Structures are given as structure tokens and as C-alpha cells.
């Protein structure tokens, strides 16, 4: 049976403290490639399991050969057992194939769950997966607001995406909670409708009130007991689960927050 | 209408303040845009649309301030001025609410707010860090250039790009940056010597600065899109081979536009 690993995101400014506390951390998720001047990188890469979680491309569009090759190179460089990408749509359809889009939000934003986009994601995920040679885990993004159009539920979209593309799921507990709030649903029942049998990794983090959105939103803070309880519930329904990650990645993150997040995971999952 | 076309419109509305204002003003008949996508999105509660757009704009410019003003931010504990805090001001809120993400106009508005915040009534900071004005100017230039989009097509005649600029500083900026990165606390007087930097933003959005030799400066200034490589070499006092080499490097970092696949006739 494969061991469940507990880990965090690699925050380069905390590298020294991460290495000094390596006994608390099994794996590191890599949101960005290490900078050339990162003097801790050789020790980090030698010490931890690394999980590729960089931006590979917007999967509603076909990835270019350059993007595909970069995705594979990152996966190989990290020796990542799987690679993750967001189920997001942050820029409009480029005018011409291969053109740079005219705008990008530069922040995760979910698609609408329509048939045409499902087909596009499915096709592009298959291509990426074939290129990677390791499983691809797709991470759903919380819904900011409801749009009144005929579309599938998020759960139905994800079930079909997993079935039709063969991808796995990266379940981010705060993301699921936020989507449930947007849909006016109870978070636990919403989460249990998702294709949990395809979950390979879980993200756990905290929520904090956001003054712009006037509601709780993702924040680099430790998870509360509700989030941890939902993570435990999810873990009990995810037979393929391999890793749980404290999802905090920010230049302002302090090591005591990262350490607290790891401690909370260890208390619940070891 | 498809899910894709609707989502494309949503992304444009969220990232484009004036477009969003038209949508939010639909009820008063001030917009003439009519499409299925537009009508569906106009049913999203206005405050949700407005708040989400502001949230996204705050994140967009926050990320750029953290990245492109990082050296100024390193000094924040001593100066008491963290450029990121500008985003909390009422003036920044107005800019964020009207922002066109990635546009040079919004970058200019934000850069002006940042300069005012960092440089106004800063006599005490200048006493401690006499290179403060130069450092802020350097970072603000990077911030502005990152948003400059190259629209013209490159030709065989090299031309200065809108995303490139040469700036002359009173202080040795590369030495100061190196000191800040390594927390080296040598006396500022030792870096009080002029520096000339070529700063440019590549098509990938990476902003790079390089020390500029007099030859590079002459070459950049002469590259106005009318001269051949040979003529530029003469203007910069460089061989053709040297000229081509430097031009290729300048092209790579986004400082000039040049289609070097076309054979140049002199």
C-alpha cells in the first residue's frame, strides 16, 4: 500500500527553515520553478518528494508544443509522481492559434460548466497526460458567483471530466467550501458529490474574510477545525489518496504559519 | 452562444473597467452593446461583478508591486513605506475600479500613486538612503515597461521598442541592488557614481535591466527603424558583427524590434 505523505508548498524565502524542520514535512509542492540563485535548492530537491504544481497552460485551449515540453521537463526535473494543474480559465480565447491572449487575470478563475468547454478540457487534458507520462491531477477552482445559464453542476462536470479524460482530481478543501457557499449548499454534502474516488491529493488551508469580496476567501493562514474536519471526511472517501498538502504559498508567509499548518495535518492524519 | 463565448465575455468584463461600467450602466440605456452573452452577464448582481473585478485587480497589481518594487520593499522596515500598502488607499481603489488589467494607462496611474507615496516628504529617508530617489525611479520604470505592449510589426530595420528604455542614474543602481540582495551594509558613498541602464520588458513579461555601454546607448538611440545594420554600426562605432550581436541581445530582452530573418540590403 502506498504511504500517505504530508507536505507543504515550497516557499523559497523559507527554504532554510523548511530544511531545518525536514522531519515535519514529507513532500513539497512546487508552484514556481526554483530561481537560478536559490542556494538551498540542491538540498531541498535532494531531501523532499517534489510535486509539480506550476502553471502549465490554460487547459480549455490546446497547449503549444513549447508548453507541453515545459510541462514534461518540470515533471522530470522534480521526479514528480503526478503533476497538477488548475481547472481554470484566466484568459479569453486567443484571436489566432498560438497568439498571446490580449488579457490574463493572473489569478485562478473557474470556467463555466458547459458541454462545449467540457469537450475542450477533456481533449486537451488527454494530450497533456499522454505527454507527461505520469498521472495528471486537476484542481477545481472556487466559483465566485452564479451565472444563470444552462450548465452542469460542478460535481457532474468533474465526474465526466475524470471519466472522459482519465485525469485524477486534486481536491482543495477550502475551494470546495467556497463553491458550496456560492451555490448555497452545505460544504460536506457538496464535497461528497464530487468524484472522490479519483482524488490523488488533497489541499488544506485556511480562509479569511476578504474586504473586496465581502466574504471569506482563500488566505495563507492555518486551517480551522471545520476545514480539517472536512479534510478528514474527504480522506475517508478517497481510496487513491497519496498526499495531503498545506496549501500556503506567498512571499508574506511566515514559517510559524507553515509549521502550524503542518502540525495540524500531522495531528489529524498520522 | 456557447459556454466559451460567454466566458470570454466575462473575462473581458472583469478585466476591463470601462467595459464593465457600460455593462453596469445598461439599465440607463447608456450602452449600445447587444449580445446574448452581454444580456446574461448583466443579470449577475452588480455588486458581485464590481467586487470580484476589484479583488482581481488588487491581486494583479499587488503581484506586480511585490515583484517589480521588491528592492524598495526590502527597505520597508527602515523606511516605513511598503509600496504594497498603496493598494489600501482610496485613490488606489479608484484606479482598481477603473483598471484595464495589463494596460499601460493603468500601469502609469498606479506608478504615479506609488511614486507619490514613496517620494513625498521623504527627506528623512533620503538622509539614510541617499539613493532612494534613483531606486524608486528604477523600480517604477520596470513597473511601467512591463505593461507596454509592442503593437508594430518588426521589419529588417531595427527599431527601439516601446517596452525598452535607457535611463541615466546618479547612483550605481546594480551595485546598490547587489548590496540590498546580500544585506551588505557598505556606506552609500561608495556607490555614488553614475550608472546607465537599459531596461526592457520581453514579450514573455520578464523585465530585465542591463548596464549600458556608450556603444549600446548609441546603438539604441540610433535604432529608429530607418537604418540598416551597417548604418547603425557606423552610428555606434561598432563592426557589423558586433552590431548584429548586440541587436540580437536587445531584441531578446524586448528593447528593440527587428526581424532578423530578413536579409538586410545596405
Interface probe, candidates B5, B11, B106, chain A, greatest A C-beta count within 10 A: B11
Q: Is the pLDDT of residue A36 over 60?
A: yes
Instruction: Select from A104, A105, A112 the Cβ nearest to the Cβ of B3.
Output: A112
Q: Is A35 exposed, middle or buried (0-12, 13-18, 19+ CB in 10 A)?
A: exposed
In whole angstroms, what is the distance from residue B138 CA to residue B120 CA?
A: 17
- On whether any CB of chain B is under 8 Å from the CB of A150, the answer is no
Alpha carbons A40 and B26: distance in angstroms, whole number: 55
B34 secondary structure, DSSP code: -
All domains of chain B, ordered by start, with CATH?
150-266 (3.90.930.50)
| pLDDT tens per residue across all 266 residues of chain B | 999 999 999 999 999 999 999 988 765 555 666 789 999 999 999 999 999 999 999 999 999 999 999 999 999 999 999 999 999 999 999 999 999 999 999 999 999 999 999 999 999 999 999 999 999 999 999 999 999 877 667 788 899 999 899 999 999 999 999 888 877 677 777 889 999 999 999 877 789 999 999 889 999 999 999 999 999 999 888 899 999 999 999 998 899 998 877 655 44
pLDDT, tens digit, 9 for 90 and up, residues B19-38 = 999 988 765 555 666 789 99
- Chain A residues with CB-CB distance to B60 below 8 A: 105-107
Q: Is A117 on the interface with B (CB under 8 A)?
A: yes
Listing DSSP states for A129-166 in one string gives HHHHSS-EEEEE---SS---SS---HHHHHHHHHHHH-
CB atoms within 10 A of CB B249: 14
Nearest neighbour of B60 by CB, restricted to A106, A116, A251:
A106
A140 strand-pairing partners: A87
User: Pick from A116, A244, A265, A260: which is nearest to A170 by CA?
Assistant: A244
Q: Give the C-alpha separation, A125 to A166, whole Å.
A: 9
**pTM, 2 dp:** 0.92
ipTM: 0.94
Q: How far apart are CA B197 and CA B180, in angstroms?
A: 18
| Most confident segment among A99-103, A203-207, B243-247 | A203-207
B51 closest CB neighbour out of A103, A117, A213: A213
Tell which residue, A217, A115, A118, has the closest CA to residue A172: A217
Q: Does B52 touch chain A (CB under 8 A)?
A: yes
Instruction: Classify domain A5-269 by CATH number.
Output: 3.20.20.150
Alpha-carbon torsion angle A115, A117, A118, A119, nearest 10: 90
User: Can you say whether the dihedral through the CA atoms of B5, A112, A114, A172 is positive or negative?
Assistant: positive
Summarised one tens digit per residue, pLDDT across range B175-200 is 999 888 877 677 777 889 999 999 99
Cell of B192: 555614488
**Domain map of chain A by residue range?**
5-269
Q: How many CB pairs under 8 A join A and B?
A: 86
Tell me the mean pLDDT in the region A86-104.
81
pLDDT of residue B140: 97
Contact yes or no for B4 and A107 at CB 8 A: no
Amino acid at each position: 500500500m502506498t504511504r500517505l505523505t504530508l507536505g507543504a508548498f515550497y516557499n523559497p524565502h523559507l527554504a532554510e527553515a523548511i530544511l531545518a524542520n525536514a522531519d515535519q514535512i514529507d513532500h513539497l509542492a512546487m508552484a514556481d520553478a526554483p530561481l537560478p540563485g536559490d542556494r538551498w535548492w540542491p538540498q531541498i530537491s535532494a531531501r523532499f518528494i517534489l510535486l509539480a504544481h506550476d502553471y502549465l497552460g490554460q487547459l480549455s485551449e490546446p497547449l503549444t508544443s513549447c508548453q507541453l515540453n515545459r510541462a514534461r521537463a518540470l515533471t522530470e526535473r522534480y521526479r514528480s509522481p503526478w503533476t497538477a494543474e488548475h481547472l481554470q480559465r484566466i484568459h479569453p480565447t486567443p484571436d489566432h492559434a498560438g497568439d498571446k491572449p490580449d488579457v490574463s487575470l493572473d489569478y485562478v478563475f473557474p470556467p463555466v460548466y458547459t458541454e462545449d468547454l467540457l469537450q475542450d478540457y477533456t481533449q486537451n487534458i488527454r494530450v497533456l497526460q499522454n505527454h507527461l507520462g505520469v498521472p495528471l491531477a486537476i484542481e477545481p477552482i472556487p466559483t465566485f458567483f452564479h451565472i444563470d445559464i444552462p450548465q452542469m453542476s460542478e460535481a457532474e462536470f468533474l465526474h465526466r471530466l475524470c471519466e472522459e479524460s482519465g485525469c485524477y482530481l486534486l481536491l482543495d478543501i477550502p475551494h470546495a467550501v467556497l463553491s458550496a457557499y456560492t451555490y448555497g449548499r452545505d460544504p460536506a454534502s457538496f464535497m461528497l458529490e464530487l468524484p472522490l474516488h479519483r482524488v490523488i491529493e488533497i489541499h488544506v488551508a485556511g480562509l479569511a474574510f476578504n474586504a473586496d469580496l465581502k466574504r471569506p476567501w482563500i488566505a495563507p493562514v492555518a486551517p480551522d477545525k471545520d476545514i480539517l474536519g472536512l479534510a478528514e471526511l474527504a480522506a475517508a472517501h478517497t481510496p487513491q489518496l497519496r498526499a495531503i498538502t498545506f496549501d500556503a504559498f506567498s512571499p508574506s508567509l511566515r514559517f510559524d504559519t507553515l509549521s502550524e499548518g503542518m502540525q495540524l495535518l500531522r495531528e489529524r492524519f498520522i | 452562444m456557447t459556454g466559451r463565448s460567454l466566458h470570454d465575455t466575462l473575462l473581458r468584463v472583469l478585466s476591463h473597467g470601462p467595459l464593465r461600467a457600460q455593462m453596469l450602466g445598461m439599465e440607463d440605456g447608456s450602452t449600445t452593446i447587444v449580445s446574448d452573452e452581454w444580456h446574461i452577464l448583466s443579470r449577475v448582481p452588480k455588486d458581485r461583478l464590481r467586487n470580484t473585478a476589484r479583488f482581481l485587480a488588487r491581486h494583479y497589481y499587488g503581484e506586480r508591486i511585490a515583484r517589480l518594487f521588491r528592492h524598495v520593499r526590502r527597505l520597508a522596515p527602515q523606511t516605513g513605506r511598503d509600496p504594497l500598502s498603496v493598494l489600501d488607499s482610496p485613490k488606489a481603489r479608484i484606479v482598481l475600479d477603473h483598471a484595464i488589467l495589463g494596460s499601460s494607462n493603468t500601469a502609469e496611474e498606479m506608478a504615479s500613486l506609488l511614486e507619490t507615496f514613496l517620494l513625498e516628504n521623504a527627506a528623512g529617508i533620503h538622509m539614510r538612503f541617499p539613493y532612494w530617489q534613483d531606486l524608486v525611479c528604477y523600480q517604477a520604470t520596470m513597473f511601467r515597461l512591463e505593461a507596454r505592449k509592442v503593437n508594430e510589426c518588426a521589419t529588417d530595420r531595427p527599431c527601439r521598442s516601446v517596452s525598452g528604455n535607457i535611463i541615466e542614474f546618479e547612483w550605481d543602481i546594480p551595485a546598490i541592488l547587489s548590496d540590498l540582495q546580500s544585506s551588505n551594509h557598505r556606506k552609500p558613498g561608495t556607490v555614488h557614481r553614475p550608472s546607465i541602464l537599459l531596461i526592457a520588458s520581453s514579450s514573455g513579461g520578464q523585465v530585465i535591466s542591463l548596464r549600458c555601454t556608450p556603444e549600446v546607448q548609441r546603438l539604441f538611440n540610433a535604432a529608429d527603424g530607418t537604418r540598416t545594420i551597417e548604418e547603425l554600426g557606423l552610428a555606434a562605432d561598432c563592426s557589423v558583427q558586433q552590431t548584429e550581436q548586440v541587436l540580437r541581445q536587445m531584441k531578446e530582452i524586448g528593447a528593440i524590434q527587428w526581424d532578423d530573418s530578413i536579409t538586410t540590403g545596405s
